[in-house]
Structure 1
Amino acid sequence: MNGTPAPAPAPAPAPAGSADDGPGIPTRLLVHALVREDGTVDAGELYTVAGLLGMSDQQIRLCVRRLVAEGRFTQEGRGRKATLRAVADVTGSLAPDAAHVRHAYRQDAGLAPWDGTWHLFAFAVPESHRTARDTLREHLRHLGAASLHSGLYVTANPVAELVEARARDLGILHTLTRLTTTDLRIGVTTDPRALAAALWPLAEIAQRHEDLAAFAEARLARLAEGPPAQDAERLTTAVELAARFTAAMEPDPLLPPQLLPRPWPGTRARRLAADCWKRLREAPPTGRASAPRLFALYADALRPAD
């Protein structure tokens, strides 16, 4: 987080190993991704997009039945003529983490340079508070911290306020120790790039960005031929793009560019993804239905860096 004949309908998902091969999209996340601004999902649209993604009608029927039984949606009508209405905000995990995404684009624009400081966090939480301990550990990982030793984490980004706030909410702030250093050493390794390569799975993260870039580039080429002939094609591309963007961004610790191999594929992938979202938003809808709120969420997360 720019008339020609309309392009042919989007093809079915490509075989594994192609540029179109990517993360599977669970049926309930597809339902969540198609929630409109008014909180509704058009079942006809849902079934059509699901078909383009290789899902069966039976999968969707069972998923809808479960979501209604869980109280997450209500249903008016039956089959493809039904309307689902969200009981709460259920956009799902395909929605972008706006703060995370904006920081990534700020880094790409050179607006968040690294000052050479490492931020370390240590905690020793007793087994009686195991749930709180595990939650804090997952929060640190979500913020991009890597484990140095049991109970000791490090990141290059200044996230102390976020870590302390979470520890306070969990009632374990008194167990948290934090410090900063510009002299981090692991064994005999002191070079910042070498330390980053040792602490984070950069090759795996880079490959996820390469996959995102390949998908976005292919869809941009298709969109350049003309707008989608049907809304379902536009929505299918949006859902796939959101899934691939999430798969690339969630495990990315957003290390400062000074610590990454050059060129770093994340920069190109995010630029192509932003261009793709822009083209999708500009594509005129062929029906009267409003776009899913996913479009607005990405438009907000991909606002130009200040």
Structure 2
Amino acid sequence: MNSPAPATDAAQPPVPTRMLVHALIRADGTVDAGQLYTVAGVLGMSDQQVRLCLKRLVAEGLFTHEGRGRKALLHAAPDATGMVVPEVGYVRHAYRQDLGLAPWDGTWRLFAFAVPEASRTARDALRDSLLRLGAAPIQGGLYVSANPIGDLVEPQARHLGVAASVTYFTSNDLRMGDLSDPPALAAALWPLADIAARYQQLAHLARHLLDALTRLDSAVPDRVDGPGGHAGSERLAMTVRLAAAFTHAMEPDPLLPPELLPQPWPGTTARRLAADCWSALAESDRRNTESGPPPRLFTLYEDLVPR
């Protein structure tokens, strides 16, 4: 029986081949090459694309393998499993905000530094760290965050050898030119329209995947679509697509407190739909897959999302 293909959307970000490999790591640290090639085909990837990716991953020491081709078994190195989802604490904080459990205290955290040109590499690394932590530049060498990230910035500054060049301070009445209203400041400092658009893409995909999963489950009788079967591969492809879209949406998000965001904020809706989709995919896998260890991805997000 032909099962319905998962919904696609040209606006959705492509799934990186490397991410697919990491997404299929099972609880025992292995990846079944046959399953990998099958799911890659569902996602529109060629066998050659997968082979080249595997060659690079093995050369980098992230995987070893035994066997050849589709019969190979890949073994992940202990540090090879961290690229599928954003950092755990970051995701949990996002859901805490969505539940109203992390209100803003009204304080802006500011970081100023003047690192000499001789330490340019360290200066650039510090700047990149601030940006990754969700801070925004106000002017040269001055960054602001609405979240208390100082405990994360300081160890990085010490590691880079520039701790003495960084000044930390707070403000409850930040003003930029004529802007002093906190939501207006947030809109000026962070690319909220772009971030919102990414979350709208995520929400759109999650809705379509939920519909596609319902059709897939109704078309495939229980216990006949094992991990190597067509329906099992479709389900895995849906899961990987959702992971890619979730990461694409979350990566640039500074997780501003809801008090600073336009309401309703698309991120809240998108994360709720993504959580519903994760749960439905994991439950469908448990109900329909007869044997074989599932990828860690099926349960990873369930562990992150508060219920």
Alignment of 1:97-176 (within 5 A): 97-176=87-166
- Cα distance per residue 1:111-155 (max 9 Å; x no partner): 111121111001111222222212211111111110001110001
CA distance in 2, matches of 1:280, 1:72: 27
Residues 121 and 49 from structure 1, CA distance in 2 versus in 1: closer, same or farther, beyond 3 angstroms?
A: same
Higher mean C-alpha deviation, range 233-242 or range 71-80: 71-80
Alignment of 1:10 onto 2:11: no
Preserved contact between residue 4 and residue 215 of structure 2 (Cα < 8 Å): no
Displacement of 1:197 after TM fit? 0.6
Residues 209 and 11 from structure 1, CA distance in 2 versus in 1: closer, same or farther, beyond 3 angstroms?
A: closer
Preserved contact between residue 7 and residue 222 of structure 1 (Cα < 8 Å): no
Preserved contact between residue 97 and residue 301 of structure 1 (Cα < 8 Å): no
CA distance in 2, matches of 1:7, 1:278: 24
CA distance in 2, matches of 1:285, 1:74: 30
Residues 136 and 285 from structure 1, CA distance in 2 versus in 1: closer, same or farther, beyond 3 angstroms?
A: farther
Higher mean C-alpha deviation, range 107-116 or range 279-288: 279-288
Fraction of identical pairs, as percent: 62
CA distance in 1, matches of 2:155, 2:258: 27
Displacement of 1:299 after TM fit? 2.2
- Cα distance per residue 1:34-77 (max 9 Å; x no partner): 11111111011100110011100111112222222333222211
Preserved contact between residue 12 and residue 54 of structure 1 (Cα < 8 Å): no
Residues 297 and 130 from structure 1, CA distance in 2 versus in 1: closer, same or farther, beyond 3 angstroms?
A: farther
**Structure 1, unaligned runs of 5 or more:** 1-5
Q: Which residue of 2 aligns with 1:46?
A: 36
> What is the one-letter code of the residue matched to 2:20?
L
- Cα distance per residue 1:77-126 (max 9 Å; x no partner): 11111111113321242223111111111111111111211110011112
Q: Which residue of 2 aligns with 1:3?
A: none
CA distance in 1, matches of 2:119, 2:297: 37
> What is the one-letter code of the residue matched to 2:277?
C
Higher mean C-alpha deviation, range 184-193 or range 65-74: 65-74
Displacement of 1:12 after TM fit? 7.9
Preserved contact between residue 6 and residue 213 of structure 2 (Cα < 8 Å): no
CA distance in 1, matches of 2:32, 2:269: 35
Displacement of 1:226 after TM fit? 5.0
CA distance in 2, matches of 1:145, 1:12: 36
Alignment of 1:196 onto 2:199: no
Q: Which residue of 1 aligns with 2:24?
A: 34
CA distance in 2, matches of 1:187, 1:127: 29
Q: Which residue of 2 aligns with 1:254?
A: 255
RMSD: 1.8
> Which of 289, 293, 300 matches 1:290?
293
CA distance in 2, matches of 1:7, 1:194: 52
1:120 is paired with a residue whose SS is: strand
Residues 30 and 9 from structure 1, CA distance in 2 versus in 1: closer, same or farther, beyond 3 angstroms?
A: same
Displacement of 1:7 after TM fit? 7.9
Q: Could you tell me the TM-score, scaled by structure 1's length? A: 0.91
Preserved contact between residue 96 and residue 297 of structure 1 (Cα < 8 Å): no
1:121 is paired with a residue whose SS is: strand
Displacement of 1:249 after TM fit? 0.6
